[in-house]
Amino acid sequence: MNSLLIRNGICVLPGRTIKADVFMENGSIVEIGQVRRSATQVIEAEGLHVLPGIIDSQVHFREPGLTHKEDLESGSRSAALGGVTSFYEMPNTNPSTTTVSALQHKIDIARRVSRVNFGFFIGATDSNLEELIAAQSVEHCVGIKIFLGSSTGSLLLNDRKKLKEIFLKTRCPIAIHSENEEVLLRRVDIRNNASSAVSHPDWRNVESALSSTKMIVELARETNRKIHVLHITSKEEIDFLSAHKDLVTVEVLPQHLTLFSPDCYERLGNYAQMNPPIRTKDHQEGLWRGVLNEVVDVLGSDHAPHTREEKDRPYPNSPSGMPGVQTMVPIMLNHVNQGRLTLERFVHMASTRPAQIYGKNKGRIGVGADGDLTLVSMSKNHTITNGEQATKSGWTPFAGMEVRGMPVYTIVGGQVVMANGQLLEAGKPQLI
C-alpha cells in the first residue's frame, strides 16, 4: 500500500495557514497535523508552502488533429512541471469535440498518457443538443463550452434561441468564450487592413466583449442558469459582472494580469496575439480590482500553443493563442511576492473555486480530499526560459522574466510526479 508523508510544510488550509504534516494513502488525504505514522515515501517540506493541487480549468492541448502544436502527453507534462495537478481541456480540436464518441476518444488517450488528472469539455453547436445532454453522464466530461465569437477552430454558436435551449435542457457547468461575432464581423476591415498585431485589440474591442457578456448574462438571468465566463479582459466587464455574482462565475488569465498593450505588442509582436486580446494598462488594473474585490473566481492559463512558424506569419494570418500551463503558477506566485494578492487568494482562484465549480473532491487540504498537492517555494528565484518549456511549441511570452516563487513538487493522487523541476517516470499516478 503506497503512502506519502509531507513533513513540516506550511499548509494553506481552508481559512487558515499552519505548519503541519500531511499523510496520504490510496490517493486520498488521511491525516493532517503532527503525523506519527510511517510512510513508504517522505518529503521534508521545511520552508515550503503546501497548497491544494492547482487546477488549470482552461487548456487547449490540440489532440486530435493539431498534434504538431501539442498533444495530451506533452501538455500534461507541461502541467506537471508547472505544479498543475489537474487540467480541463477545451473542444476546439480537429475535428471539434462535439459528440460523445469524440469526447470518449480524448478521454481514452488521456487515460494512457496523462501525467496529471484531466477533464474535457464538449463543444456546443447549433445541432448537437442530444450529444450535449448525453455527455453529461460521461466520466471525465466536466461541462459544455460555448464560443459566442469565432476564435481558433470552427466552433461558433451565437443563435439566442439555440443557446436558450441548451441552458434549459442541460444541467452541467457551461463555460463561455464571450465575444460578439456580429461586432467582430462589422469591424473586420480593421483586422484585414492592419500591418501588425498592435491592431488586434482595436479589432476585438471592448464593445465586442462587453456586449456579448451582457447578452449571455441576460440569458442566464432569463433561464435562471449558472454560467462560467472565461478570460474576461476589460474593466467594464468586471464592473458589469460584479452585479451578477449569484449566477456568474468569472475567470481571468495571468497573461492579462501581467502583460498590457501597447508594450506587449511592441516587444512580442504576434506572440502577444490572443483572443480575447491583451488590452491597455487601465483594463489590467480593472482586472486586478476584480481579483481583489472577489468578482473574479478563477485563474486559468488558456494554454493555447502554436508553432513559431505559425506565429511568424504576417498579421492577421498569424493564429491567436499562447502557451501558459507551465508558467501560470510561477507568474502568479511572483505577483504574490510583489504584494498584488495573498497566497490564500491565489489558492482560492487556482484550486478551491474551480474544484467547487466543476464538482471535484479537490481544491482543499482536508481529510478525505483527493491527494493532489502543489508544494511551492515562495523564496526561490528563477528566470523563465523558452528552453525549459515542455510544450511542443517551445516558447513562452514570459521568456527572460525573473520571478520569485516556484513549484517544487507536484503530487497527483498521493504520488509525486514532479520533484525539483524534474518529472518522475516511476509508476503512474491514480488519475481521478
Question: How far, in Å, CA of 133 to CA of 339, rounded?
Answer: 44
The yes-or-no answer on residue 302 being catalytic is: yes
Question: Which residue type occupies 11?
Answer: C
Q: Is the sign of the CA dihedral 116, 121, 122, 123 positive or negative?
A: negative
Question: How far, in Å, CA of 316 to CA of 191, rounded?
Answer: 6
What residues pair up with 370 in beta bridges, in sequence order? 28
The torsion region of residue 143 among left (phi > 0), alpha (psi -120 to 50) and beta comes to left
DSSP label at 2?
A: -
3-state secondary structure labels for all residues of 50-85: EEECEEEEEECCCCCCCCCCCCHHHHHHHHHHCCEE
Cα dihedral 234, 237, 238, 244, rounded to 10, equals: -170
Cell readout for 424 is 518522475
Active-site entry in 21, 71, 297, 302: 302
Helix (H) or strand (E) holding 404: strand 402-412
Among all residues, which ones are annotated catalytic?
302
